[in-house]
């Protein structure tokens, strides 16, 4: 994961970033922010990067927004967000990190689970503006280069998923469960993994995967 520092003194908004005159799309914007290293590009409302004309950008600017600086998977990002934006929507809609899933948007299913400062949280219930200075780990940041996190590998080995939609949340939750030390028995794992629904019904194998990965006591 490249480490891109977006400083507070970041330069002009995306439209003036010295790139081509075409308005950057969300992905090209992200590519830009990661490509230019410590320089530029975090001034404007990040949601505005997909806007097409100035009138709309102005309209969007009219909504209450805040600047927040947070680290996502080791990369520092300073962004201006609509105050209503959840961490989950920031990740999925603005940062292009769609590995975190929206299952219920109400904290009932766990598909959106990420680690915030090492603790597992439902990112759908967490407003992005609260997270100034926080360190976020999403599923995209769990593997080290090509080497999967042991729990990711265990999920493959145990076939602990089918459709795969709850899987990133299950894995982040499992990492949290292991760190918390709630892996003393299969019963304890079941209890502490019950905030993550798997509708395909892979619970038996999810427990096995967490068990396989947890340090032996």
Partner 1 sequence: MSPQPQAAVGAPLSRVDGRLKVTGEALYSAEHDVDGAVHAVIVDSGIGRGRITSIDARAALAHPGVLRVISHRNTPELPYRDNSGSNNPPGRRLRVFQDDRVLFHGQPVAVVVATTLEAAQHGASLVKIRYDDEQPSTDLTKAEPGESTTYARGDADAAVRDAAVSLDLTYRTARNHHNPMEPHATIARWDGGRLTVWDKTQWVVGTQTELAAVFGLEMGAVRVISPFVGGGFGTGLRCWPHVVVAALAARETQRPVKLVLSRKQMYLGTGFRPSYEYRLRLGSDRRGRLTAAVHEMDAETSSYEQFTEGVLAAGQMLYSMPHVRQAYRTVPLDVNTPIWMRGPGFQTASFVIESAMDELAHELGVDPIELRIRNEPSEDEAKGVPFSTRRLRECFTVGAREFGWHRRNPRPRSRRDGDWLIGMGMATGVYDTVRAPAQARARLEADGTAVVEAASSDMGPGTYTSQAQVAADALGLTMRTVTFRLGDSRYPATPPHGGSMTMASVGSAVLDACDRLRRQAVILAIEDEESPLFGVAADDVVVRGGRLHVQGDPARGETYQRLLTRNNRSHLEAEGSFAPPSGPERHSFYAYNATFAEVAVDATLGLVRVRRILGVYDAGRIISPKLADSQALGGMVGGIGTALLEHTVTDHRDGRIVNANLADYLVPVNADIPDLKAIYLDGEDREADPLGVKGLGEVVMIGVAPAIANAVFNATGRRIRELPITAEALL
Instruction: Specify the stretch interacting with partner 1 by CB under 8 A; choose among 2-10, 32-40, 107-115, 129-137.
Output: 107-115
SS3 26: helix
32-51 residues near partner 1, rule: CB under 8 A: 47, 50-51
Beta bridge partners of 81: 66
**Exposed / middle / buried, residue 171 (Cβ in 10 Å: 0-12, 13-18, 19+):** buried
16-35 residues near partner 1, rule: CB under 8 A: 25-27
Say whether residue 191 binds partner 1 (CB under 8 A).
yes
> With contact defined as beta carbons under 8 Å apart, do 186 and 158 qualify?
no
**Exposed / middle / buried, residue 53 (Cβ in 10 Å: 0-12, 13-18, 19+):** exposed
Say whether residue 125 binds partner 1 (CB under 8 A).
no
Between 134 and 171, whose beta carbon lies closer to partner 1? 171
Q: Which of 60, 150, 182, 212 binds partner 1 (CB under 8 A)?
A: 60
SS3 46: helix
Q: Which of 148, 150, 179, 211 binds partner 1 (CB under 8 A)?
A: 148
Say whether residue 56 binds partner 1 (CB under 8 A).
yes
Say whether residue 203 binds partner 1 (CB under 8 A).
yes
> With contact defined as beta carbons under 8 Å apart, do 134 and 196 qualify?
no
169-188 residues near partner 1, rule: CB under 8 A: 171
Helices (H), the chain: 26-35, 54-61, 87-89, 150-158, 167-180, 186-192, 203-213
- For residue 124 the two structure tokens come to 């759908």
Question: How many chain residues bind partner 1 (CB under 8 A)?
Answer: 72
Between 3 and 25, whose beta carbon lies closer to partner 1? 25
149-168 residues near partner 1, rule: CB under 8 A: 152-153, 155-157, 159, 161-168
């Amino acid at each position: 994961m490249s480490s891109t520092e977006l400083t507070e003194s970041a330069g002009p908004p995306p439209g003036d970033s010295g790139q081509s005159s075409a308005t950057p799309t969300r992905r090209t914007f992200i590519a830009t922010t990661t490509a230019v290293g410590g320089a530029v590009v975090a001034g404007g409302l990040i949601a505005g990067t997909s806007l097409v004309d100035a009138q709309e950008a102005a309209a969007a600017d009219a909504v209450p927004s805040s600047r927040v600086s947070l680290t996502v998977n080791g990369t520092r990002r300073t962004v201006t967000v609509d105050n209503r934006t959840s961490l989950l929507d920031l990740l999925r809609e603005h940062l292009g990190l769609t590995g975190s899933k929206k299952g219920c948007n109400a904290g009932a299913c766990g598909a959106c689970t990420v680690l915030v400062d090492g603790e597992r949280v439902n990112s759908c219930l967490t407003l992005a503006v609260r997270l100034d200075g926080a360190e976020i780990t999403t599923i995209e940041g769990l593997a080290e280069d090509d080497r999967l996190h042991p729990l990711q590998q265990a999920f493959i080995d145990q076939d602990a998923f089918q459709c795969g939609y709850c899987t990133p949340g299950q894995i982040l939750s499992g990492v949290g469960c292991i760190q918390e030390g709630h892996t003393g028995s299969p019963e304890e794992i079941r209890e502490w993994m019950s905030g993550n629904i798997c509708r395909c019904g892979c619970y038996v194998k999810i427990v096995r995967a967490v068990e396989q990965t947890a340090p032996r006591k």
